[in-house]
């Protein structure tokens, strides 16, 4: 059997990071926008907090702003944001030929279901990226800023060449595990991502937010809602951090002096780091809120539960999206946030 080629569709932070790792061992093409394609052809360095480094440079003919007309025997890594997924699937629909596998890499809930609607005859897998990747313009580097590897749904039918293709991503910079419980992993990752909305609303660096007990209490309440829905749906959340999923709200509610000691890994972040959702608002872009906090209510309704706090937080983020201008907005502390959310 001939090897699979790889195609990254949506070459931004995650797409360029994954594609540059795949490119160390296999043939890869990139579909994306500027300035990312120029960055790739000029050369990027992949780095992480542990000091690993890997250089990568793509050739001009590997990069394109449009999806190729006929794609065959290719693993297509869909790395656009949820907000661009539907239009990208429509563009991809008529271009997939024989033996293609499409991998949805979006955070949140719902991307694989949407992909299945547009590509019913294609082998679809879900992947969850467990780490954060940021762009460091001074070093032209894609920096893996947190711990966490890549989880890829185990294909239902074992095919050695496909398994090999999926393992092509593995590198000291990113561990890869093929998993049967990818849906549960998506829920566990969403539990961690619920805090992005609070970071966006309070307009503070992630670290400052985490050191404010009232902010942590709000995040813990958001997580309580998710844990209740996951339990009602019979989803056992795998552990993605040092603590099991159900203990995270307990940790967040501790007094700050104790939280500092026990959550040192969580606080091991750049003083000025902000969530990607905060950056979306700062750049006047649509956020992924509907697929994160905003998606929970749909799944809760199916098991006769609701997620009122996640709904309120979703509404606040959507108000920020609608306001467009980021300049005039102030900084909130946790107590004011609680007041705005009608919490004691």
Ligand X SMILES: NC(=O)c1ccc[n+]([C@@H]2O[C@H](COP(=O)([O-])OP(=O)(O)OC[C@H]3O[C@@H](n4cnc5c(N)ncnc54)[C@H](OP(=O)(O)O)[C@@H]3O)[C@@H](O)[C@H]2O)c1
**Which listed range, 77-85, 114-122, 152-160, 170-178, lies at the site for ligand X (CB under 6 A)?**
77-85
Q: Is 13 in the site for ligand X (CB under 6 A)?
A: yes
Which of 279/339 has CB closer to ligand X? 279
Q: Is 99 in the site for ligand X (CB under 6 A)?
A: no
Question: How much of the chain is helix, strand and coil, in % rounded to 5?
Answer: 45, 15, 40
Which of 14/162 has CB closer to ligand X? 14
**Which listed range, 6-14, 18-26, 227-235, 328-336, lies at the site for ligand X (CB under 6 A)?**
6-14
Window 288-327: residues binding ligand X (CB under 6 A)? 288
Which of 5/81 has CB closer to ligand X? 81
Q: Is 205 in the site for ligand X (CB under 6 A)?
A: no
Among 6, 12, 143, 229, binds ligand X (CB under 6 A): 12
Among 8, 10, 201, 289, binds ligand X (CB under 6 A): 10
Q: Is 241 in the site for ligand X (CB under 6 A)?
A: no
Among 1, 33, 163, 319, binds ligand X (CB under 6 A): 33
Which of 8/332 has CB closer to ligand X? 8
Q: Is 36 in the site for ligand X (CB under 6 A)?
A: yes
Contact indicator for 307, 227 with CB cutoff of 8 Å: no
Which of 212/280 has CB closer to ligand X? 280
Q: Angle at Cα 126 formed by Cα 80 and Cα 79, nearest 5°? A: 15
Give the length of the chain.
344
Q: Is 133 in the site for ligand X (CB under 6 A)?
A: yes
Which residues make Cβ contacts (< 8 Å) with residue 236, sequence separation at least 6? Answer: 181, 184
DSSP E strand boundaries for the chain: 5-9, 28-31, 44-48, 53-56, 63-64, 74-78, 100-104, 123-129, 133-136, 141-144, 150-153, 176-179
- Give the C-alpha distances (Å, rounded to integers) separating 117 from 61, 74, 94, 110, 337: 32, 20, 14, 11, 39
- Report the nearest approach of ligand X to the CB of residue 9 (Å): 6
Cβ neighbour number for residue 284 with a 10 Å cutoff:
11
- Report the nearest approach of ligand X to the CB of residue 105 (Å): 5
Q: Is 275 in the site for ligand X (CB under 6 A)?
A: no
> Which residue, judged by CB position, is nearest to ligand X in the bound state?
12
Which of 19/334 has CB closer to ligand X? 19
Q: Is 259 in the site for ligand X (CB under 6 A)?
A: no
Among 37, 71, 80, 150, binds ligand X (CB under 6 A): 80
Distance, CA of 131 to CA of 150 (rounded, Å):
8
Among 84, 170, 254, 267, binds ligand X (CB under 6 A): 84
- Report the nearest approach of ligand X to the CB of residue 190 (Å): 10
C-beta pairs of 120-127 under 8 Å, 24+ apart in sequence? 122/96, 123/155, 125/101, 125/152, 125/153, 125/155, 125/182, 126/152, 126/153, 126/182, 126/183, 126/186, 127/77, 127/103, 127/151, 127/152, 127/153, 127/182
Please, what sign has the CA dihedral across residues 74, 177, 293, 328?
negative
Among 23, 32, 149, 249, binds ligand X (CB under 6 A): 32
Q: Is 88 in the site for ligand X (CB under 6 A)?
A: yes
- Report the nearest approach of ligand X to the CB of residue 118 (Å): 13
Contact indicator for 229, 237 with CB cutoff of 8 Å: no
């Amino acid at each position: 059997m001939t090897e699979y080629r790889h195609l990254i569709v949506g070459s931004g932070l995650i797409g360029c990071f994954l594609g540059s790792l795949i490119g160390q061992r296999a043939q890869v093409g990139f579909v994306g926008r500027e300035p990312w394609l120029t960055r790739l052809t000029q050369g990027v360095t992949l780095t992480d907090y542990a000091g690993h480094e890997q250089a990568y440079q793509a050739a001009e003919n590997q990069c394109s702003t449009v999806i190729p007309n006929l794609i065959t025997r290719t693993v297509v890594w869909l790395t656009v944001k949820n907000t661009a997924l539907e239009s990208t699937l429509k563009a991809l629909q008529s271009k997939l030929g024989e033996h293609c596998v499409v991998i949805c890499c979006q955070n949140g809930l719902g991307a694989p279901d949407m992909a299945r609607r547009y590509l019913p005859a294609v082998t679809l897998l879900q992947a969850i990226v467990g780490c954060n990747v940021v762009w460091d313009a001074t070093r032209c580097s894609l920096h893996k800023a947190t711990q966490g590897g890549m989880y890829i749904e185990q294909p239902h039918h074992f095919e050695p060449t496909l398994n090999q293709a999926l393992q092509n991503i593995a590198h000291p910079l990113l561990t890869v595990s093929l998993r049967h419980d990818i849906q549960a992993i998506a829920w566990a990752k969403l539990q961690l991502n619920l805090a992005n909305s609070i970071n966006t609303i309070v307009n503070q660096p992630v670290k400052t937010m985490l050191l404010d007990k009232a902010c942590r209490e709000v995040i813990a309440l958001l997580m309580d809602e998710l844990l209740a829905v996951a339990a009602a749906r019979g989803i056992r959340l795998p552990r993605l951090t040092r603590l099991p999923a159900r203990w995270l709200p307990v940790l967040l509610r501790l007094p700050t002096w104790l939280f500092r000691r026990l959550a040192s890994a969580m606080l091991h972040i750049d003083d000025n780091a902000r969530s990607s959702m905060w950056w979306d608002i700062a750049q006047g872009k649509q956020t992924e809120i509907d697929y994160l906090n905003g998606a929970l209510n749909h799944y809760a309704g199916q098991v006769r539960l609701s997620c009122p706090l996640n709904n309120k937080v979703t509404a606040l983020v959507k108000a920020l999206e609608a306001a467009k201008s980021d300049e005039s907005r102030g900084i909130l502390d946790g107590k004011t946030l609680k007041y705005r959310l009608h919490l004691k």
